[in-house]
Chains A and B, each alone.
Chain A
Amino acid sequence: MKKIIACLLCLTPFVAWPLQAADTAILQEYLPQSCYQLGRYQQQKSVRGLVKPIETQGYFAFACDKGLLWHTSAPLTETLIYRLQGATRLVRGDGSQQKLSGVVQRQLGQMLNNLLGGNKAYLERAFVIARSEQGIQLVPRKKRMEKFLQRIDIAREQDTVSIRLQHPGGEYTAIRVHAIQSFELLNTSECSQQLAVERSADLCQQLFNP
């Protein structure tokens, strides 16, 4: 199952983000400034059999005591809400909702929140962390994870963080997180005001007051 989790980690854009919260000397500068954050992202994911990578972009909101809201705005509209407690929810562009109770989404949700919460024990256990030319590099400690994820490179410039997950066979997932805003506190109303997406109130409600 670890492999499956590792596989999921490799295929998802969120994986590298919590690495900023690692409690190691090298990771200090990458730690998030706040427990509550909002921002935008752009993602490129190479897929075997396609020359051009799959590109998506959107917004995110993270509350360390509630969970993560990941909104894709292009090329399709879809939001995933990974709550610390309870099942993951999928909200489609037309507003229809679906509870994702499957093992894949459940494990992914648990893992993401664990990572985003800056679980230092997890990061120290899972990766060897080293400084690289552009930033830092995380190499999985576990052989089984290595089968799906060779390394993660993280670089930072002002309010932009670039994360690149390198998979075996030359495949990769590259995420550019930018326009990051930190908050002292984030609640439903603040989230819905700041999150510039359609039905933001409903989506934030799903995260903060389901």
Chain B
Amino acid sequence: MTQQVYRRWCRLALIMLTLIAAYCVFTVSRSGLQIDTNLRSLSPSFTLDPAINQALNKMSANAAQQFILVLVHEDEDQLAEASESMRELIEEPSSPIAYVDQTALLEIYVAQLQQHSFHMLGNNAQALLAEGDAEKILALGAANLYGSGGTLRLVPIAQDPLGFVNEYAVGLLDRLALNSGDEIQPIKQGDKEFFIAPQMLQIRSDALEMDQQDQALARIQTITAELRAEFPELKIISSGILFFAADAAQSARADIETISTGSMIGVLLLILWIFRSPRAFLLPALSIGMGLAFAFCLCHFWFGSIHILTLVFGASLIGVVVDYALHFYYFQAHHNYNHDQLPLYRALFLSLLTSVIGFSALAWSGLAALQQVATFAALGLVYAWLMVIAFGQLLAKKVRVYDSVLQNNLHSLLRHAAKVPVKAIVVIGFLMLGAGVYLTGFSLPVSDSPRSFFAANPQLVEQEKQVSDWVAGYEPASFIVVQGETAQQVYDRIAAVNARVDKDGDSLLAGRSLLGVQQFFPSPQQQQKNYQANQVLYAGAQVAQQFINQQQLTEISADDLARAYAQQKDAWLNPAQFFAQANLGLPPLWLESENTFTAFLLIPKGVDTLQLNQRLEDLEGAFFFSAMQDSETSMKLLRQSAMELLVLALLLMALLLLTRYHWKKMLQLMAIPVFAVSMSFLLLALFNLPLSLFHVMALFLVVGLGMDYVIFIAEMRENPVETLSAVAISSMTNLLSFGLLGLSVLPAVSAFGIALFIGCSLNLLGALMLASRNSFFLSQAVKP
């Protein structure tokens, strides 16, 4: 095959792939872009139980949407005025934020009770109906009609003349201990006394939309500034995921901008120094850019959305393509324009194959997150490679290389390195690895906690803690899951959970309660008892008729009530109907599937969850769930899987090399990336940097780059100095970019950068030693 035919085939393939991408763009443009930023999407364990996943999603949505602003002032009147000013500002029609409104919850709840009114009874009514004393029952009905029992009537009198259902409905307010919102409360902290007014707020629309979040934050800032101007002594303390997300985004943006500007300037200067023409940017920029766009379109089409980590990792892996462009420039610069480029294409193809195979190893994990990264990187690499082959000759035409200084230095380095015998290199290599293993104590420190990936602003953490102390609330990402085969079994198990939590009077909840279905509705058994008890009123002794006559409630028909009572015989209230309502502002505390009933109990903030977990350990059908722990487990699984696949990637690459090289040569070539990866692990441990998923993902790139270096050195052995120059420039661009990433304040980015910096340095060292094994330098080294 001639180089022209080779290029023609590549162009044809490029056109076909571009057409496929165009179709994907068309489809995606109709459905809209979906960038998944949720860490939980990565978690394999979440997919195991859809019920837990559903509850968590709802809780996350609520948590992302709701927030608290606490106004603090030493003067109660000033605080009241500030609170009112805030209300006016928040209730402006165009405001993107609003007060949390529990009216809908109450309305839906009461409507639900009304449909099953004969199965509901308040505590006082239950006790009296059990006694069966008609006089006492009538007296309680009168108290509910005229006295304190009728203060708040939620259930219509026509349906509940004695107010027994109403008693249960009103009790919800107590059972839920609904927070009173902007009420003023006195606080004593040490010697200081002051007042607080917590404002429970929410973003009007879906908080996950960045625009809405930005608008809400801008509004909060305006309101805060206005209030502070009006009340200079006023303090405003904030609490909510919204503020953490905004702070993280802001610091990430600033951090990435600084780093990317720094690395961009460095890389630009380096390229300009070597090529002295902005044309040199064309091929790498075009191939990487188009490769990314292609991968993005196809992945989005295939997966329906793209995870943010896929973009970050995938884009980095596709970055390997910069090497292809550099080698193209070097090849063109040192050969005639019409010189046969097939050897270069062969080297590039082999390099592509090793990278694609290496990165594809991630797809073997069975974990959706890693599979997406693998697909993204492989697709992007193939497309970028085709771009380089199809347009490389054209775009590299006028690019010249001005690297005489670099070549002289490399030449000298290679001659010196050639003096070191192979055996010595091998021994030194093993000694280094052995020393590393010994010094790390044969164990690698690891970190899989999601907390360690993000640096939370300590001021916000402090405010969060402060608000938690003042305002009652529930843990946003931990709860107790109770499951059973029947609804009654779940209720019984909830009772068992409560008994454990309140073990021997030593309650973990300090007077508060777990929030669950039991606060909303009685168990099926209790509902049945209530229905039977109501017989006294509506079916047997007709006490309801007596009450109606006694109180002259002539508009109410006892016969209608008796009929309704008979009709409701087996119509117990199923909590699933209530919790399925979308606008409750509550997580689905009760879910039903074919054979399983699941209840979720929310835990009040500040409870010792470790002890809670211990108390529930051997309880049948109930367990403590923490999204944080679950994420940690998932991240651990991902890291372990990625580490195993890294080994698999190296094995596959070795097998591929065997198809072209003798096994000894293959071992020689593979030794470089294997050493770079192994030593990187050890150095990270020696620097006391706990290994995370981000380090391991970076090492995939290290392997990809390392393989590129060794393949080019092996394939372009006729021009070892030029090839090593290209490798050195490629390395320097990587070291510049990734070295600066290592300085990021974001732990995840920093981890990625540090691992790459170490790995790339070792790759460069390995490439140097490999190039020095070239017969030309070896022959020079033995000369006197």
Contact = CB atoms under 8 A, between A and B. Distances in A.
Interface of A: 1-5, 7-8, 11-12, 47-52, 54, 56, 72, 75-76, 78, 80, 90, 92, 100-105, 107-108, 110, 121-122, 125, 142-144, 147
B151 A2 contact: no
A12 B151 contact: yes
A-B CB proximity, top 5 nearest: A102-B174, A49-B158, A78-B147, A1-B180, A1-B181
A105 B181 contact: no
Contact of A72 (B84, B147, B173): B147
Interface string B602-617: 0000000000000000
A125 B106 contact: no
A178 to B, nearest CB: 20
A121 B179 contact: no
B146 A4 contact: no
Which of B152, B179, B554 has the most CB atoms of chain A within a 10 A radius of its CB? B152
Contact of A56 (B99, B146, B171, B174): B146
B173 A50 contact: no
B87 interface: yes
B553 interface: yes
A8 B153 CA distance: 9
B336 interface: no
Given A49-B158, A104-B173, A11 B152 contact: yes
A103 B176 CA distance: 9
A4 B173 contact: yes
Interface in B73-104: 77, 80-81, 84, 87, 91, 99, 101-103
Contacts of B157: 47-50
Contacts of A50: 157, 553, 555-556
B156 A48 contact: yes
A52 B555 CA distance: 10
Which of B87, B139, B150, B180 has the most CB atoms of chain A within a 10 A radius of its CB? B180
Interface residues of B, number: 41
Contacts, number: 96
Given A49-B158, A121-B81, A103 B151 contact: no
A143 B174 CA distance: 25
Given A50-B157, A104-B151, 4 more contacts: A3-B101, A76-B147, A104-B173, A121-B77
B595 interface: no
Contact of B178 (A1, A12, A147): A1
B170 interface: yes
Given A48-B156, A75-B142, A78-B147, A3 B103 contact: yes
13 contacts: A1-B178, A7-B152, A47-B153, A49-B158, A54-B145, A76-B142, A76-B143, A78-B148, A80-B148, A101-B174, A102-B171, A102-B174, A104-B151
Interface string B600-644: 000000000000000000000000000000000000000000000
Contact of B173 (A56, A80, A102, A144): A102
Contacts of B99: 2
Contacts of B183: 1, 107, 110
